[in-house]
Homo-oligomer: A and B are copies of this chain.
């Protein structure tokens, strides 16, 4: 059920049997959502967090002008709103992009978990700091990189994050976002995303069809993106 989550945790360091048991005990309930639903609305008081079991979620901000900005993407194994555990309300919505299965984790269970397992407290704190690192990388990308590098960077990041949970095969993975949604991530318009994707295809860097993204030339894509995966902290180091 939460194997992807455990895989992600273990990729940073050992998780004992007892800890694993405790983590499994976090889940109070599992709920299913359709695509394009709002899972958590900005501002509402929270007493649970959401552990994504399967599907794709995003954090999105609606602007006054009617535009949307996606601030982070979440895949299986991610806690989508663990920061809500301390903040108690979010500054953004959490929405589904696909059918999604989500484990509900009541905050009081997290209370108990981190009390019993200080090591897990550090791991979960770490994981919210990792979200911040991802935000920072997006700031850099959106502020400074041209459209092609920007998309390339997103693809490299997802490649790395999905690989950890075993969802990449031959540098291919399913990528369910529409070009419109991709634009909302990258700070571009869907028209420009469309043209940029054509460009990336023409240069034989990627293939993207039927919701599947194939990276055809990873070294070249990585160079175009100026992608350095160290901010994802994927190497094994005990915390």
- Enumerate A115-173 residues with CB–CB distance to B below 8 Å: 115, 118, 121-122, 125-126, 128-133, 135-140, 142-145
Alpha-carbon gap, A70 to B59, bound state (A): 22
The stretch among A25-33, A96-104, A194-202, A226-234 that forms the contact with chain B is A226-234
Alpha-carbon gap, A139 to B92, bound state (A): 12
A136 touches B135 (CB 8 A): yes
Residues of chain B within 8 A (CB-CB) of A239 are 86, 88
A125 touches B128 (CB 8 A): yes
User: Chain B nearest CB: distance from A146 CB in Å?
Assistant: 10
A71: interface (CB < 8 Å): yes
A237 touches B132 (CB 8 A): no
- Whose C-beta in chain B lies nearest to the C-beta of A123? B86
- Whose C-beta in chain B lies nearest to the C-beta of A223? B64
Size class of the contact patch on chain A: 35 or more
A126 touches B86 (CB 8 A): yes
A37: interface (CB < 8 Å): no
From known contacts A87-B233, A126-B87, A233-B87, infer whether A92 and B136 are also in contact, taking CB-CB under 8 Å: yes
A67: interface (CB < 8 Å): yes
- Whose C-beta in chain B lies nearest to the C-beta of A237? B88
Residues of chain B within 8 A (CB-CB) of A230 are 43, 91
A55: interface (CB < 8 Å): no
A37-50 vs B, Cβ < 8 Å mask (1 yes, 0 no): 00000010000000
A69: interface (CB < 8 Å): yes
A61: interface (CB < 8 Å): yes
A83: interface (CB < 8 Å): yes
Residues of chain B within 8 A (CB-CB) of A125 are 86, 125, 128
- Whose C-beta in chain B lies nearest to the C-beta of A124? B125
A58: interface (CB < 8 Å): no
A61 touches B136 (CB 8 A): yes
A63: interface (CB < 8 Å): yes
A91 touches B136 (CB 8 A): yes
Partner of A118, one of B59, B91, B115, B132: B115
Residues of chain B within 8 A (CB-CB) of A77 are none
- Enumerate A62-108 residues with CB–CB distance to B below 8 Å: 63-65, 67, 69, 71-72, 83, 86-88, 91-92
B139 touches A71 (CB 8 A): yes
